[in-house]
Structures are given as C-alpha cells and as structure tokens.
A and B are shown apart, each in its own frame.
Chain A
C-alpha cells in the first residue's frame, strides 16, 4: 500500500466517522427539541423531517399574517359536507346547546366544556387566511378561545408534547405539537365573520391552526387529548392524514 492511498484511507475513515457521529448528534438534538415528525419513516421521511425541523426552528414564535377587514373574502368556500349521522343532526336541531368539548389525557383536571362555557372565556378574533392543500383559499375573521387558555384551565402536565383533537366525524382526527398548541393564534373557534361558525365551515366548533393548511383545521371538534407520545393514536403517525398519504405537518 503506497503512502498516498494509506493517507487517503485514513482521511476517508476519519471523515466517515465524523459524518456518522455528526448525524448521531443531529438526531439526538432533533429528538430533544422535537424536530422529528411522527411520519418520519419511509421514502419521504427525510424530506418531511427537513421541512418540519426547518419550519419549526423558524416559526417557533412567528405570528400568522392578519389582514384588514376589507380583505375578508366575500365567498368563503365551505369544503365538504356536514356530518350526516344521527348524533350530529340531533345536536344541530338543539342549536348545539348540548355540544361538549372533552379535554383529557395528561392534564391535572380533565374537564368537559359546553359552548356557552367556552364563550365565557376571554375570546380572540383574528382575520387570517385559510389555504387548502389543493391550492384554493379564503380570508375570514375567526373568533374563539385560544387553545392555550383551555389548556391552562385544565392544567397540562410537564411531560405533555402533543395535543390530539377529534372530530365528531368518525376517522377525522389530528394533532399538533406544543409550539402550535400554545400558540396565541391557535383558536378553539366558534365564530366566523361576526356570527356563529356556520356548519359548512365546521360549526359549532373548529380548531383553527392558521400557520398550517386547511386539513389541520379539523371541523366539529368534540375532544382534545394531551399526550407525550402519538404512538397510541391510530397507526402512530400523528393523525388520520398520513394514513391517507398526506403529511402530518402541513405548514407548507
């Protein structure tokens, strides 16, 4: 073995070791700071992890754009049909007076809120954009209780890392990390454009996560579960979306 090739071999070995340990350190740091999405496996896992990690680092405290009243869309598009099942129809007939939002999981005081109870909390209104992954969008004024306030009322435990939320529509559920759950613009929304939230737009209760796309904004929400791991929910991919081939994180 000549001098040159031995030197090359050593250099390559050192570079490979440095690269591997660099990756291992990056992996540990990424886990520690919550930069790995639950759907990080498979062919698209690397791209998805890069997207989530990069956007999470950039957006930890950023606020979604808010618009002047003049920008509110005259034709907000209500995508999809309201739930057709009997339970929803009965609640709708009763003016949603019996609608409940249950909060459980890693909380000190599990609770169940009525719509009236939620409306008694300090509200927040914001004019934000709602964009669908398909490409269309509209701007509306949304009114509700910041999710952070609801979580405060039930007292989340220190190990909490995600909030899972469920629709009355079977099979529709999603989750956000604590950065989005505690974000001031994440609203448990009951009003739109100055009136009650219409059924077509998810009324009586929709979770609005304005820094993510439409499908993260689950309609007809009835339950929130605070958790430290998403493994026990569905297939463990964080939401129903990845089970249908869509990314868990929808910031882009």
Chain B
C-alpha cells in the first residue's frame, strides 16, 4: 500500500513538476524572476522558457488529484505505523541503535563491511545493522515528516491557519524547493533499499518482511 502510494506520489509529483521545472527561494517566484536553479526538462506549459521547441501535454489535473489522495493514504498509514511502532516498542527495540553501536569505530567498521561487500553472518542478519537503523530512523522521523510539512506549506489555505509553518522554511517557494529535495532523497533511499534487498536475496527478504519469518539462511546467489 505504502509502496503503491509512493509510486503514485512520485509519478504525479514529476507530472506536476514539469508544469514548472524551475525553483526559487523565498515567498514568491515566476518565469519573470531569476530562478534558484532550473531542471533541464521540457515543460507542459508554453509560458515556461525551457529551450525545448515543444510543450508536453498538460497532465496536472489528475496528477494533483492523485498526489493528494495518495498523500492522504501515505499520511494515515504512516501515522498508524508510527503510533503502533511507539506502542509495541518496535522503534526502541529494532531501530534505535545501541550505545556501543554508535561509536565511531562501530560505524566505520560497518561502513567498511559494506564497502567490502561482506555478507552478514546468520546471527547478524536477524537484526538491522547500525547503518540501516540510522537510515530508517532518518526516513521515518525526518524525511517523511518533512515532505508532508513542506507539501502542506505550499497550500495557501494551510498557510492561512499556520503562517509560521511557512515562514520558518523561508517562504512558500522555499517550501516547494525543499519538498523537491526531500522527495529526491526519499527516492534515493528507496533505490538503495531495493538494491540491498536484491543483494540479500529477494524472495527470502520478501517472505521475512510479509510473514516476519526468515528462511534458515540467505539464499545463495
């Protein structure tokens, strides 16, 4: 469900983005003002100068409907996950790194193991390693809330209720720019996450994720 939502948010987000592939900092910005940066994409609006000789078809209507509907599902399931994670102790037990793991030596050791592509031993594979734990906590408690916050900060109605939620980000256009970067980070996380699952053995990991039971050992590749 969350994966489907993420893909829906990604596709519709890209569609919305190409209607104006320029970014600004501050409260306001448009094609007449200098951008912070531009993406080298063609746009779906003729009013945006992109250097391409053509204009893509406008897909913003359904993209916006789909973006917000998937956002609702992602936020509601995300809240359910966070509340249940807090109550069952999942975060404390499985995600919060132990004190010993947080030393520079342990972290650099873990990085070195990753760089050498050393596979975890059977006992290690049962729990998340320190790099995984940090990455997951960062996604759950920093990137995910930030992407929701910056998304809402672009809404003129929400800004009328919580003006400070926009101004601390530097303005509405800043919120849009941060929203873009956080989305890119989330996409990178997903790609690395998927690559790791494939390395660890796709069938085994999927079974473990859905049923909670892992096979006796890693699949041999």
Instruction: Determine the chain A residues whose CB is within 8 A of the CB of B32 once the complex forms.
Output: 75-77
Within 8 A of A (CB), among B10-67: 16-17, 19-20, 22, 24, 27-33, 45, 47, 60-62, 64-66
- Say whether A48 contacts B33, CB under 8 Å: no
Within 8 A of B (CB), among A146-199: none
- Say whether A246 contacts B68, CB under 8 Å: no
- Say whether B69 contacts A252, CB under 8 Å: no
- Say whether B173 contacts A62, CB under 8 Å: no
Contacts A131-B154, A251-B155; A48 near B61 (Cβ below 8 A): no
B62's nearest neighbour on chain A, judged by CB, is A245
B152 within 8 A of A: yes
Choose one: A46, A133, A136, A245; the contact of B31 (CB below 8 Å).
A136
- Say whether A47 contacts B62, CB under 8 Å: no
B32's nearest neighbour on chain A, judged by CB, is A75
Contacts A65-B163, A131-B172, A134-B19; A46 near B157 (Cβ below 8 A): no
Stretch at the interface among A12-20, A92-100, A207-215, A228-236: A207-215
Task: Give the dominant DSSP class at B's interface.
Answer: helix
Choose one: B30, B69, B160, B176; the contact of A48 (CB below 8 Å).
B69
A218 within 8 A of B: no
Chain B residues touching A, range: 35 or more
B159 within 8 A of A: yes
- Say whether A44 contacts B66, CB under 8 Å: yes
10 A-B pairs with C-beta separation under 8 A: A48-B68, A55-B158, A64-B159, A129-B156, A131-B172, A136-B20, A136-B30, A247-B65, A252-B68, A252-B154
- Say whether B28 contacts A47, CB under 8 Å: no
- Say whether A211 contacts B156, CB under 8 Å: yes
Chain A residues touching B, range: 35 or more
CA distance A64 to B157 in the complex (A): 7
Residues of B within 8 A of A (CB): 16-17, 19-20, 22, 24, 27-33, 45, 47, 60-62, 64-66, 68-73, 152, 154-161, 163, 166, 172-173, 176
- Say whether A210 contacts B156, CB under 8 Å: yes
CA distance A213 to B155 in the complex (A): 8
Contacts A48-B69, A79-B47, A133-B64; A252 near B31 (Cβ below 8 A): no
A67 within 8 A of B: yes
A4 within 8 A of B: no
- Say whether A212 contacts B157, CB under 8 Å: yes
- Say whether B65 contacts A138, CB under 8 Å: no
Instruction: Determine the chain B residues whose CB is within 8 A of the CB of A210 once the complex forms.
Output: 156
CA distance A62 to B72 in the complex (A): 22
CA distance A252 to B155 in the complex (A): 4
CA distance A241 to B58 in the complex (A): 13
Known: A77-B30, A131-B172. 6 other contacts (CB 8 A): A48-B68, A51-B68, A58-B161, A64-B160, A71-B28, A211-B160
- Say whether B60 contacts A50, CB under 8 Å: no
- Say whether B60 contacts A252, CB under 8 Å: no
A21 within 8 A of B: no
CA distance A246 to B176 in the complex (A): 20
- Say whether A73 contacts B33, CB under 8 Å: yes
- Say whether B27 contacts A67, CB under 8 Å: yes
Most chain A beta carbons < 10 A, residue from B64, B152, B163: B64
Instruction: Determine the chain A residues whose CB is within 8 A of the CB of B33 once the complex forms.
Output: 73-75
